[in-house]
Structure 1
Amino acid sequence: MLTDTKLDRLGTADELNAAVALHCRALRQSRGWSLDELAGRSGVSKGMLVQIEAARTNPSVGTLARVADAFGVTVSRLLEPAQDRTVHLSDAEEAPVLWRGGRGGTARLLRGLSEPDFVELWDWRLAPHEEHVSDDHQPGTREVLHILSGVLIVTVGTEEYTVGPGQTIDYLADRDHSYRNDFDTPTRFLMLVCMPPREYDRRVRPPLPR
């Protein structure tokens, strides 16, 4: 069984929750949106948004992605204050773990950029026989996966692809997709997510292939 996804970063979940609360509230108010409006655009319930803005919950990675899509920002924008900087150097251990699987797998958000386009870099690890089913992202989102070790089964819509060490796969992620390790050894892969730099309202989503 998968346990989707509590914010976790070296014991500083409270700091991350506070950052998400601050940015979510500021981004919503700067747009003049009510909580009902954000709930409609993101597909996240008003009750959950109230909890997020009060820093009283650990939102899942799926919830964060939906909120970020609605605002037209990256997930990392919700986790840390915007800073003007030429260079940003950090250790992998400093990056937040935004997903934990029931068998020990993790997904760590290494970095996110908001300019010139929205890009996120993730370090994923799936334990043997572990799976993550992802929400569909906003139209035009593309993911690039590079397998470092193990074998990964990637499902996009109704098609499955087996990707081995040293191989790279990219695909449109604005439809149903998942990552699965069917084998007895762990799988580790890097993921690059490239998103259109715009706000996204799920209520007016165009139909897409499943």
Structure 2
Amino acid sequence: MITRSVAYSGTVSDTLGSSLAATLQVAREAHGLSVSALAERAGVSRAMIGKIERGDAQPTAVLLARLAGALGMTLSELVARAEDGGGRLVRAADQPTWTDPASGYRRRTVSPASGRPLELVEVELPARARVAFAGDSQALVHQQIWVLDGHLRLHEGDTVHELDPGDCLQLGAPGPRVFANPTDRSCRYLVALTRR
């Protein structure tokens, strides 16, 4: 597991890491889960969860998605809860942004945090970057990907989709997915998620 510090960009405060740690612990306890039970559900070591909850380590996007999924929420929900948003309007300057320390993948939660049936997330994938998600991290949601700028190569199992600006793809059944940017410029895309 990668334990490097999370890089922040945009308007996210330097306290998001500790907020994520506290939010993760509160969500785990609200589900009545011990660290061991969450570790088993998420396929993550107890030691890593302990480090995250203590603020000694920051998870990558992939690890955070696994933990969120094991707690019955999406990565966007977890980040939004850490930012403590609650209104129906969230200004661009107040939308939480988080950068994965492993890939440079940057996600901005566009949607308001509370009571939403639909989530909108803007992602920027740097040149030559790739992020692989296990199938269990998407089991809770239906997703569509709309490419805004650049080129996205999306692997769904053995199927590869080459997406350019304006292309919109409805993702299939949950399974392993790899988001890759094979070009020399960044790729920006919108992810629309609804609960299954």
TM-score > 0.5 by shorter chain: yes
Q: Greater RCO between the two (CA within 8 Å, min separation 6)? A: 1
In the other structure, the counterpart of 2:18 is: 18
Deviation, 1:5, is: 8.3
Deviation, 1:100, is: 5.2
Q: Which protein is bigger by CA-based radius of gyration?
A: 1
In structure 2, runs of 5+ residues without a counterpart are none
Relative to 1, partners in 2 of residues 1:35 and 1:21: Cα closer, same or farther, differing over 3 Å?
same
Deviation sequence 1:124-160 (CA, Å, 0-9, x none): 2233333222222243533211111222221111011
In the other structure, the counterpart of 1:88 is: 89
In the other structure, the counterpart of 2:191 is: 191
Aligned-residue sequence identity (percent) comes to 24
AA of the residue aligned to 1:163: L
Q: Normalization by structure 1: what TM-score?
A: 0.75
In structure 1, runs of 5+ residues without a counterpart are 197-210
Alignment coverage as a number of residue pairs: 190
AA of the residue aligned to 1:16: L
Deviation sequence 1:176-202 (CA, Å, 0-9, x none): 111222234432211223344xxxxxx
Does the aligned pair in 2 maintain the 1:100–1:107 contact within 8 Å? no
Relative to 1, partners in 2 of residues 1:82 and 1:110: Cα closer, same or farther, differing over 3 Å?
closer
Instruction: State the distance in 2 between where 1:101 and 1:31 align.
Output: 29
Q: Aligned with 2:100: secondary structure?
A: strand
Q: Normalization by structure 2: what TM-score?
A: 0.79
Instruction: State the distance in 2 between where 1:169 and 1:152 align.
Output: 11
Deviation, 1:56, is: 1.6
Q: Is 1:135 aligned with 2:134?
A: yes
Does the aligned pair in 2 maintain the 1:19–1:78 contact within 8 Å? no
Relative to 1, partners in 2 of residues 1:145 and 1:6: Cα closer, same or farther, differing over 3 Å?
same
Q: Aligned with 2:29: secondary structure?
A: helix
Q: Aligned with 1:146: secondary structure?
A: strand
* CA-atom RMSD in angstroms: 2.9
- List 4+ stretches of structure 1 deviating above 4 A: 9-14, 81-84
Deviation, 1:27, is: 2.0
Instruction: State the distance in 1 between where 2:23 and 2:94 align.
Output: 23
Alignment map for 1:1-210 (pairs within 5 Å): 6=6, 8-10=8-10, 14-79=14-79, 80=82, 82=84, 84-85=86-87, 87-91=88-92, 94-99=95-100, 105-111=104-110, 113=113, 115-117=115-117, 119-136=118-135, 137-139=137-139, 141-172=141-172, 174-196=174-196
Deviates more, 1:90-99 or 1:51-60: 90-99
Deviation, 1:72, is: 1.1
Q: Aligned with 1:123: secondary structure?
A: strand
Q: Aligned with 2:139: secondary structure?
A: coil
